[in-house]
Amino acid sequence: MIIRPAQSGDYEQVLDLMIQLHQLHSTARPDIYRSVEVPSSAEQYDKQLQQPDHYLYIAEDPDTGQTAGYLAVQLQQNQGSDHMMDRRVLFINEIVVNHVIRGRGIGRQMFDYVKELAASLEVQSIELNAAVFNEQALAFYEGLGMKSRSIRMEYELE
């Protein structure tokens, strides 16, 4: 498996993975996520590619050229707060492996790539948000050594 920077021409393959991720979320929480066919347009994808603090990558099978995974991370710099420490964080916005080939170590390879990027950017930590309904992802992240830092709670009003 090779991990390479995403390009504009990768949109259709990335879209397939974004659809898989969005369907998981919209099925589990239809009160939050709209059921849409296209969760992110080509224009939004291209705009993200141009952002200087955003890093988008493709996990690709070198023999077939097939896209196996997609990774979107963002450098966040928290500075200038009176009550918070200055920090550089690499935030994982999306990490998706095609559901057909999960369990083959592709997600772990992508996370190892994120760790290398984080070291080169000299950040203090790698962070992400995970939905509590996505137990498979939570177990994966914990297996990588990630720990819960905070919990976002809700009280629904009728």
Q: Which two tokens stand for residue 118?
A: 């984080």
Per-residue pLDDT reduced to its tens digit, 123-157: 999 999 999 999 999 999 999 999 999 888 999 89
Could you tell me where the DSSP H helices lie in the chain? Answer: 11-28, 42-50, 106-121, 135-143
Q: For residue 86, which of 58, 132, 38, 122 has the smallest C-alpha distance?
A: 122
> Residue 99 carries which side chain, given as an amino acid letter?
H
User: Does residue 27 belong to any structural domain of this protein?
Assistant: yes
List the structure tokens of 40.
């992110």
Closest CA to 45 of 70, 21, 65, 27: 70
In a domain, 148, yes or no: no
Does residue 63 sit within a domain? Answer: yes
For 87, the domain range is 2-143
For 24-47, write each residue's pLDDT tens digit: 888 888 888 888 888 889 999 999
The residue behind tokens 């420490």 is 85
- For residue 152, tell me if it sits in a domain: no
Q: Which stretch of DSSP H or E encloses residue 70?
A: strand 67-78
- The reply to whether 38 falls in a domain is yes
Q: What does pTM read for this prediction?
A: 0.90
Q: Residue type at 40?
A: S
Report yes or no on 98 lying in a domain.
yes
Is residue 134 in a domain? Answer: yes
Give residue-wise pLDDT tens across range 92-106.
999 999 999 999 999
Q: Please report whether residue 149 resides in a domain.
A: no
CATH code, domain carrying 6? 3.40.630.30
Domains contained in the chain, number: 1
Residue 113: both structure tokens together: 């790539």
Both tokens assigned to 136: 């498979």
